[in-house]
Amino acid sequence: MDSTEIRATWSLASLFAFRMLGLFMVLPVFAIYGQSLTGATPALIGLAIGAYGLSQALLQVPFGFLSDRIGRKQVIYFGLVLFAVGSVVAALSHTIEGVIFGRFLQGAGAISGAAMALLADLTRDDQRSKAMAFMGASIGASFTFALILGPVVTAWFDLAGVFWLTAAMAVLGLWITWKVVPDARLRHLRLSAVPVWGQFADVFRQRELMRLNAGVFVLHLVQTAGFVVMPVLLVTHAELDKAEHWKIYLPILFVSFVLMLPMMIFAEKRRQVKPVFLLAIGLVLVSMLLLGRWHETLFTLVVGLFVFFWGFNLLEAMLPSLVSKIAAPGFKGTSMGVYSTCQFLGAFVGGAGGGYLAGAYGVVALYAVAAALVLVWLVLALGMRPPRPLQDYTLQLDALDEAGTESLTRRLLAVNGVEEVVIIPNQNTAYLKVDNRRLDKEQLQEVAAAAL
């Protein structure tokens, strides 16, 4: 990466991390502290936890499209202002309805699509995957820090302190966007990062992608639903003071992350992605069964949480990678947009549904439903085809008519190692998936040179 790409990557990753940290810090504390709000019920507490997911799911893709029209930074500024306003509304609210509205406004600051598009504008094709991976890692890191920081901040400054800190991070994000994030001279439609309206129907028709979309929906549903009751279980059954919960989360997250890494390496190096993927889903299923049956002591809760986060961390790393590998060339941005929408919808349904189940039928019913959903996902995943070890490859072309596009597609597919080809004539770009072990690079360059 050059200096501009490095600056763009770490500054935009910081925006993601600060924003998601503010959204996630509520998870380990709200089920306890939210009970003091006027009108609070288990169902409404769950809705408050997951409310951000609904507005996030509805607006993140449209905001990405809007950034094509009015500019990337303009949309990011607007989204961060909405996020700050929602945080202030939640901080000042003494009723559960006010916090729900504030959380909905927080999620409405849906800058993910615009930030990804800006990162794509500021990075070269051969450096973009590296930058996107760094962005994804920042989200994972923010979730880890949120589980540790949330109980500490709330113990010192009460629930309002979490929301005021979130508002401060939104203001810091505005400054980073203004002063640190580079300006893009040109806006491009980068199909590796930006959704395209005309591609959504094609993405929904891809069975393998829809398995993954259903999976991320279930994963974030059970994650959010679990945090509707877990803080309360740690206080009532484990007799652990609410300010001490971070001492449980920190070692569990650390050990589960350490154990996750060799499994990821094994899956990629030995091409055992499917068995490891199924094992990770199995771990989540086992954790739901454990927590539903044994949640009366600190030991059983720690075991259940550890098994869950072992599987959860592994799936959080594998799912986006699988979407990227399975998506057709030139369809990655749209595929990731659908994937992210399903992820946030899962968080919303998990919060709202988990709160309802916990209030109406109890903890055992919540975990039973969660286990049933994970079991359905596991059955769906059994039929998945392991992705082939293919890499993305982009070629810039001269203007082509329809006949020229068809001819070039045939010639590219005839190159040894080229597996898939999508040519976008109005961009003069060919998107390929290639097997680097078999790719005849000289032949490919000859075909590409003839098209220039």
CATH number of 441's domain: 3.30.70.100
Q: How many structural domains is the chain composed of?
A: 3
User: What's the rounded mean pLDDT across residues 172-198?
Assistant: 79
Q: Is the pLDDT reported for residue 161 higher than 70?
A: yes
Q: Using the 3D structure, point to which of 387, 405, 423 is the last residue of a domain.
A: 387
Q: Give the per-residue pLDDT at 190.
A: 64
How far, in Å, CA of 111 to CA of 396, rounded? 29
User: What's the rounded mean pLDDT across residues 183-205?
Assistant: 75
Which position has the higher pLDDT, 261 or 107?
107
Q: Give the per-residue pLDDT at 229.
A: 95
Whether residues 408 and 341 fall in one domain: no
Whether residues 214 and 350 fall in one domain: yes
Using 50, 70 and 90 to split pLDDT, how confident is the model at 437? Answer: confident
Q: Is the pLDDT reported for residue 452 higher than 80?
A: no
Whether residues 231 and 363 fall in one domain: yes
User: What's the rounded mean pLDDT across residues 78-103?
Assistant: 96
Whether residues 395 and 320 fall in one domain: no
Q: Using the 3D structure, point to which of 158, 190, 222 is the last residue of a domain.
A: 190
Whether residues 325 and 285 fall in one domain: yes
Whether residues 430 and 339 fall in one domain: no
> How many other CB atoms are found less than 10 A from the CB of residue 8?
24
Query: Tokens 């996107």 — which residue?
Result: 132
Strand residue runs (E) in 303-438? 391-396, 418-424, 429-434
DSSP classification of residue 238:
S
Domain boundaries, position 365: 195-387
Among candidate residues 366, 382, 375, 373, the one with its CA nearest the CA of residue 346: 373
Q: Using the 3D structure, point to which of 190, 220, 247 is the last residue of a domain.
A: 190
Retrieve residue 426's tokens.
Answer: 């109005």
Whether residues 207 and 259 fall in one domain: yes
Whether residues 332 and 186 fall in one domain: no
User: What's the rounded mean pLDDT across residues 82-107?
Assistant: 96
